[in-house]
């Protein structure tokens, strides 16, 4: 692995290569893993990899073989297409929820940071109320109100991730809003919405990127946890949490049914967290030194 | 006293959050689809019986009155009766509370004893690129492995060893403390994996932030020993964020380690909530969630006060804006 410091001094001509080279090998590997999972979730069902995920094709709880690369589940369905479908469900539910979170939190955080005072107080207090619920307990409460399913998973992820992200974006926006250029814009009569978009949003975009990444890993965790307890995505659909839950039931007889979805889930979360860490190092640099 | 300038504001904030959270919990259960009387009495009950129950539970009053009535009873320790068992929820909770408290205490001990030293080590020794990458991967792994995966794997591993029952029969610490502690060891370790990794990361960040401070450079220039600098300059200043995180972790676990308790069949608050959910036992759900949030808010308040006393800068910066 090349040292990142020397890399940045000798600028490559290709901007895409330059951007890639500024991240280290571990981060790039993690991005590759995520890209591969996404590709599998999109292309797998289209190409019909492993066959129909709902069709009962073979013996129950068969070990991995050439015919069933990940084995079969308790009903004799091939696990490979079910895992691929599960990855897709988990990624779609998490991504849609995190997109909602990013929009809500960025808007809320910037408005709160720009106005400060009472507006900030109200927004942060609402966040505090939601933050007082432990993640999985809030998700369970949501599931018991709206009923188990995709919607419950989506709403819970948004409610779990919004408070922290709003607080972070709000704090970053607050720091931007006291800068001279914002004051200058205000004095020269620029409208508040325009300042928020042109000056504040562009300057908190780093924090937004970092927090969105972390929110995505929390989303996958929560979706998995909720499905694991039986209140998330429902059968016959498939999600990683649901597959893990099914896997635990037969884990003594068929450990592969637990192993495959677990490994993929952990891989996805690790990859996202590593990317989040390295985005944070980039956007919120710290003058590290050793003792 | 300095504390008097910011404590009333914090208390008020905590009260606002508690009222908001309890209103949310009340509303969530109150506006569930379906007739409460029918859920309780079943479809065969007569109209008079339903009417009687509505009056008993105060459904003929306004929503505001109902909320205040519910909150008033909850504050005095009356959480109603479980729909499934007919027993008072307060009594069932009292039997489960010590188990969750013990489980939390054990997990917090592992977290502090293992997580903090690991973080200090990671923060004060900045190694080569390769070891940093390995460290990043391991610490990411620690916060990334979900408790449901880890719990399942540990139960599986324990069940394949000839150690007797790997799950079940965890409860009643008053009768058999040693047995309970032993039975709680695996679930507490499973819980601690996440909290250790999170604490180690936070400690490392806090230490790195202190190391760039001028007073550390001054200490190095004065020729103070490495150990002295770490214990006297770095740890004292890094304590605040670490303490905050530990408090948050304790509050989260006390509210019920829902998944781990369910998988290991620990009869604590978390498994009580899941059980209540499975039976649509609304008084139980309401009470467990209310308890979890209350514990969290009170714990945050305690952490705020303690950090404020430890480091006056926190209190001041929180106030003046």
Section B293-300 average pLDDT: 87
Q: What local confidence, expressed as pLDDT, does residue B312 receive?
A: 66
**DSSP secondary-structure letter at B232?**
I
pLDDT averaged over every residue in chain B = 78
Q: What local confidence, expressed as pLDDT, does residue A97 receive?
A: 93
- Rounded Cα distance between B108 and B192, Å, is 7
Least CB–CB distance from B16: residue in A125, A248, A287: A125
pLDDT above 70: percentage of residues in chain A: 84
Q: What local confidence, expressed as pLDDT, does residue B1 receive?
A: 56
Q: What local confidence, expressed as pLDDT, does residue A105 receive?
A: 92
Q: Are B216 and A291 in contact (CB < 8 Å)?
A: yes
Least CB–CB distance from B212: residue in A229, A266, A287: A287
Section B18-40 average pLDDT: 76
Most B-contacting residue of A132, A144, A290 (CB-CB within 10 A), to test interface: A132
| Residue B172 confidence class, pLDDT cut points 50, 70, 90 | low
Q: pLDDT tens digit string along A37-75?
A: 888 878 777 776 666 766 666 677 767 776 677 777 777
Q: What local confidence, expressed as pLDDT, does residue A3 receive?
A: 47
Instruction: Please name the residues in contact with A290: beta carbons below 8 A apart, sequence gap of 6 or more.
Output: B124, B125, B126, B211
Architecture of domain A26-57+65-287: Orthogonal Bundle (1.10)
**pLDDT tens per residue, chain A (291 residues)?**
444 444 444 555 566 666 666 778 788 888 888 888 888 878 777 776 666 766 666 677 767 776 677 777 777 777 777 888 888 888 889 999 999 999 999 999 999 888 888 888 888 888 888 888 888 888 888 887 787 888 888 998 999 899 889 988 888 888 888 888 888 988 998 888 888 888 888 888 888 888 898 899 889 888 888 888 888 777 777 888 888 888 888 877 777 778 888 888 888 888 888 888 888 878 876 545 555
The secondary structure of A63-103 as a DSSP string is PP-SSSTT-B-TTSBBHHHHHHHHHHHHHHHHHHHHHHHHH
The Cα of B288 is separated from the nearest Cα of chain A by a number of Å equal to: 9
Q: pLDDT tens digit string along B209-258?
A: 888 888 888 888 888 888 888 888 888 777 877 888 888 888 888 876 88
A245 cis-preceded (ω within 30 degrees of 0): no
Q: Sign of the C-alpha dihedral, residues A114, A119, A121, A123?
A: negative
Identify whether the C-beta of residue A233 lies closer than 8 Å to the C-beta of residue A143: no
Q: pLDDT tens digit string along B94-107?
A: 888 888 888 888 99
Q: Which ipTM was obtained for this model?
A: 0.75
Residue with tokens 């620029």: A190
CB environment A48-65: b (16+ within 10 A), e (fewer): eebeebeeebbeebbebe
Identify whether the C-beta of residue A172 lies closer than 8 Å to the C-beta of residue B290: no
Q: What local confidence, expressed as pLDDT, does residue A13 receive?
A: 59
CB contacts of B318 in chain A (<8 Å) are none
pLDDT averaged over every residue in chain A = 80
| Residue B162 confidence class, pLDDT cut points 50, 70, 90 | low
Least CB–CB distance from A136: residue in B155, B259, B285: B259
Q: What local confidence, expressed as pLDDT, does residue A99 receive?
A: 94
- Rounded Cα distance between B292 and B288, Å, is 6
Q: What local confidence, expressed as pLDDT, does residue A98 receive?
A: 94
CB environment A82-104: b (16+ within 10 A), e (fewer): bbbbbbbbbbebbebbbebbbee
Q: Are A229 and B274 in contact (CB < 8 Å)?
A: yes
User: For chains A and B, what is the number of CB pairs under 8 angstroms?
Assistant: 154
Residue with the bigger pLDDT between B2 and B67: it is: B67
Q: What local confidence, expressed as pLDDT, does residue A6 receive?
A: 45
The Cα of B268 is separated from the nearest Cα of chain A by a number of Å equal to: 14
CB contacts of B273 in chain A (<8 Å) are 137, 140
Section B64-85 average pLDDT: 79
The Cα of B173 is separated from the nearest Cα of chain A by a number of Å equal to: 25
- Rounded Cα distance between A167 and A161, Å, is 10
**Alpha-carbon separation of residue A278 from A30, A163, A219, A265 (angstroms):** 11, 23, 19, 20
Which chain B residue shows the shortest CA-CA distance from A260? B149
Among B36, B89, B83, smallest CA distance to B291 is for: B89
């Amino acid at each position: 692995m090349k040292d990142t410091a020397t890399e940045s001094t000798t600028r490559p001509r290709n901007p895409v290569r330059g951007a890639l080279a500024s991240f280290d090998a571990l981060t790039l590997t993690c991005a590759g893993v995520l890209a591969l999972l996404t590709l599998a979730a999109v292309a797998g069902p289209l190409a019909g990899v492993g066959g129909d995920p709902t069709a009962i094709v073979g013996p129950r709880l068969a070990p991995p073989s050439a015919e069933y690369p990940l084995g079969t589940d308790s009903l004799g369905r091939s696990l490979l297409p079910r895992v691929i479908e599960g990855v897709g469900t988990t990624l779609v539910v998490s991504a849609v929820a995190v997109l909602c979170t990013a929009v809500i939190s960025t808007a809320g955080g910037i408005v709160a940071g720009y106005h400060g005072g009472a507006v900030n107080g109200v927004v942060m207090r609402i966040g505090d109320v939601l933050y007082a619920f432990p993640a999985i307990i809030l998700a369970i409460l949501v599931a018991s109100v709206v009923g188990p399913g995709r919607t419950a998973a989506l709403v819970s992820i948004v409610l779990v991730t919004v408070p922290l992200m709003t607080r972070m974006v709000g704090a970053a926006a607050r720091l931007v809003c006291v800068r001279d250029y914002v004051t200058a814009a205000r004095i020269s009569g620029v409208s508040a919405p325009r300042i928020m978009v042109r000056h504040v949003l562009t300057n908190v975009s780093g924090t937004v990127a970092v927090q969105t990444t972390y929110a995505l890993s929390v989303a996958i965790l929560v979706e998995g946890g909720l499905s694991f307890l039986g209140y998330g995505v429902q059968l016959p659909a498939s999600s990683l949490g649901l597959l893990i839950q099914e896997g635990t039931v037969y884990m003594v007889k068929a450990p592969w049914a637990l192993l495959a979805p677990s490994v993929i889930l952990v891989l996805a979360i690790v990859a996202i967290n590593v990317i989040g860490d390295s985005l944070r190092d980039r956007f919120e640099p710290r003058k590290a030194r050793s003792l | 006293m300095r504390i008097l300038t910011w404590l009333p504001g914090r208390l008020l904030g905590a009260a606002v959050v508690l009222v908001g959270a309890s209103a949310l919990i009340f509303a969530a259960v109150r506006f569930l689809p379906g007739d409460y009387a029918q859920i309780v009495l079943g479809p065969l009950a007569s109209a008079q019986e339903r009417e009687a129950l509505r009056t008993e539970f105060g459904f003929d009053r306004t929503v505001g009155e109902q909320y205040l009535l519910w909150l008033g009873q909850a504050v005095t320790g009356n959480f109603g009766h479980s729909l499934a068992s007919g027993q008072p929820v307060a009594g069932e909770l009292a039997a489960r509370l010590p188990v969750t408290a013990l489980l939390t205490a054990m997990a917090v001990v592992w977290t502090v004893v293992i997580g903090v030293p690991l973080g200090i080590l990671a923060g004060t020794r900045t190694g080569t690129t390769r070891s940093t990458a390995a460290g990043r991967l391991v610490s990411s792994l620690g916060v990334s492995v979900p408790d449901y995966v880890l719990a399942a794997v540990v139960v599986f591993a324990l069940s394949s060893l000839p150690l007797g029952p790997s799950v079940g029969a965890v409860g009643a610490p008053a009768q058999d403390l040693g047995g309970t502690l032993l039975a709680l060891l695996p679930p507490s370790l499973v819980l601690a994996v996440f909290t250790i990794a999170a604490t180690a990361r936070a400690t490392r960040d806090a230490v790195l932030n202190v190391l760039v401070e001028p007073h550390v450079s001054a200490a190095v220039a004065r020729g103070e020993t490495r150990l002295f600098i770490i214990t006297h300059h770095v740890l004292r200043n890094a304590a605040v964020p670490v303490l905050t995180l530990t408090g948050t972790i304790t509050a989260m676990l006390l509210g019920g380690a829902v998944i781990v308790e369910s998988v290991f069949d620990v009869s604590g608050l978390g498994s009580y909530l899941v059980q209540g959910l499975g039976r649509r036992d609304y008084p139980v759900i309401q009470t467990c969630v209310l308890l979890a949030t209350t514990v969290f808010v009170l714990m945050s308040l305690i952490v705020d006060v303690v950090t404020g006393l430890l480091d006056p800068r926190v209190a001041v910066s929180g106030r003046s804006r």
